[in-house]
Each structure stands twice: as C-alpha cells, then as structure tokens.
Structure 1
C-alpha cells in the first residue's frame, strides 16, 4: 500500500520546520496570503533551506496575481505552489513549469471537483470555510475517484486524523490549525503526534 502523503502547513519557526522534517512529513507549507501564519519571502527562504530535497516546500497563495506568486516563490526557493482562492485554469497555466508542483486547494461544498481539472498536480479538499479549523463530513459518498492524488484538509488534528483517513481514504492529508497551541503558533509535540497518527491510519 502506498504511504500516506502528509503536509504540515503554516510554519514560521526553525523549530517547527525541523520537527516536521524529523517526524517524517512529506511537505511543508509557508503561507504568503493574508493570515496570522503569513511569512515574507526572506523568512520562507531561510526556513526552506533547512528542508531536505526529499521533502516538498510549498508556498501558499490566495487570489494573488500570477507574476507576484512566481516572484515570491522564486525568492523563497519553494518547489511547490498552492493556490487557495478563486484562481482559474489560466492562473495554473501561467505558473506551470518543469519541476514545480502545483496544488489546487478548494472548499468542499456540494459535489467534488476532480483532480487535474485545472491542470494541477495535487488537489486539496478543505472545509467549507477554509482555514477555520472546522471539521466537515469526510464520509460523503463519491468524494473523489479511487486513485486520485488528493489531500484531505479542514479540522484535522492528532485526535481525528485516523478516523478521517479511514473514512475518506485520501491520497494524503494537510494540517495547520490542528497542530497549534494558539492561533498561528505551532506546537512541536502536536506536529509529531499528527504525523504519527496519520501514518498509523493505513
């Protein structure tokens, strides 16, 4: 069975990046959109340099012009871009280039988007109110097609990620607020517990 892909997002401190890497995370996200977790390109570049090549570094953006996204991603040296707004297929086409992983993040409402619909490499399905840390119904039938490369997000934590993975059967999971001691402040113990719990679900 393929290993569950685990992404830890919204990291701002060296301590938290090191913890996620040591715990075995497959991807680490740095937020460039408006958020209490936002970092600038210089800070993200410093953090990204701590991450080994086998762990994907991702810049997270929301409704920002493609040229700004490209500029910040280049300055930070991230190898993935996650778009978490109303960006259409043209945005993805403008950012497409060899070696760059594109992630389309969208909120689940009625009916699931299909992986690859905008030319993205990975699809992320979030709660109806993204970034709220609220859970949603992961047991919806037909959430995705078997074998699709998609990440489950929204309200995940060390306490519920096993149940979520077993119910929704995602290719991977993404966490941010579920490993925080307060809004925007990561807890290293929770990061480690989340990765361990997610992997044990398989």
Structure 2
C-alpha cells in the first residue's frame, strides 16, 4: 500500500468522476445511515461500476453484522472493506475470513497510549487507518469529523506497518502531514468538501496533487 491516495465518502457520479480523473488510487463509499455521506446499496452499486478498473473500491462499515457485510459485498463488490467502528481484533479476523478480501481497520488516536491498540490489529487486518478520535459529542460520527491528531505521536512507529493517515487532512496540510509521518497512504473526506457530504471537485484535485508531490519528494 505504498503512496496511495484515498478519497472517502464519495456519493455522486460527478464527484466520483472528479476523484477518478484526478488520479485517486482508492475511492471510498460509506454505508452508515447517520453519515451525510451514506450511500444506498443501489447507489453504491452504480458508483462501484463507475470506478471499476480505475481505482480500488472501498466500502466503509461501522460495527456491521454479517448480513450488512453480505449485502455490501453483493451490491458494491468492493476490493477492500474498511471497518470504522469498535470491532475487536477477533471480529476483524472473523470478517476477513468470511469475505476473503482485504480489510482495513480504522483506529482513533488522541494520545501516545492509543498507539498500543495497533499491535493486536496489525496481525488481523492488511491495513491500519489512523484517524483522530471523534469529538466527545452525542452526534459525533466515527470519522469524517475534520479533526486531526498530533502527528508527532507517530514518531518511532514501525515503518513496516501498512499505515494510512487520516483525520483532518486537507489540500493545505497534507504535504506537511506526509513529511512528518511518512505514511504508506493518506485518506481524506471532509477536507475536500464545501459542506457536510458535499465533495468539491477542485479541492479533490488540489488534495491529490499536493499529496502526490509530497510522496514524490519523500522518495527522493
């Protein structure tokens, strides 16, 4: 998963086209009714067909039951499933065995001690997404809150881990985030929006360009 750029929470053919045309490596579809980025199975199916062969398709699920997973797999046929709830390492392993395709587990980070949660998941999920812990509000979403964590907390993290950096990234700060943390990949959702759930094609393009340039500089 080296130097990949993921645009998450895409929910219209037009914004998906913008992400694909700008060169996104991964595109994410959210299956979580409380999110302004939620897509129905039918819309997810159509968006997935649009992205097929052009980018890796990711379905984001939050503490899904087996039936939720089966429906998402059948309708959207993702290349990878992203688990963004409180799934245990055992549940991640169970889901991975069931779907027989890669799994990415999102973990919330706020302080150094939160990094201790990585190890149990690293052996069960192909990829780990590090997001900021959601604000302590009753209506806070598990992700997509536009909040970042202190990236310096990742100093000394095992470079062999397949880490995707998320949380509060946007076109203006993604280059600095990559320089500081040297992640394998980056993920953005609200940072390329003009309003909750409203992706902005110009911001998508700017984010991908900034991230691509930063990754290139890191590799020289």
Q: Which residue of 1 aligns with 2:204?
A: 191
Larger fraction in helix: 2
User: Is 2:44 the counterpart of 1:48?
Assistant: no
Distance across 2 between alignment mates of 1:86 and 1:116: 12
Q: Which residue of 2 aligns with 1:90?
A: 90
1:68-105 CA distance string (max 9 Å, x none): 22322222222211110111123222322576220100
- Report the TM-score, using the length of structure 1 for normalisation: 0.92
Structure 1 regions of 5+ residues with no counterpart? none
- Report the TM-score, using the length of structure 2 for normalisation: 0.85
Q: Which residue of 2 aligns with 1:175?
A: 188
SS of corresponding position for 1:139: helix
1:147, 1:171 within 8 Å by CA — same for their partners in 2?
no
> Superposition pairs for residues 53-132 of structure 1, below 5 Å?
53-97=53-97, 100-109=101-110, 110-112=113-115, 113-114=118-119, 116-117=121-122, 119-129=124-134, 130-132=143-145
2:162, 2:184 within 8 Å by CA — same for their partners in 1?
yes
1:116-141 CA distance string (max 9 Å, x none): 53511110000121321012211125
109-118 or 167-176: which moved more? Answer: 109-118
Following superposition, the deviation at residue 186 of structure 1 comes to 0.2
1:45-72 CA distance string (max 9 Å, x none): 1001011325110110112213322322
Q: Which residue of 2 aligns with 1:146?
A: 159
Change (3 A) 1:154 1:6: same
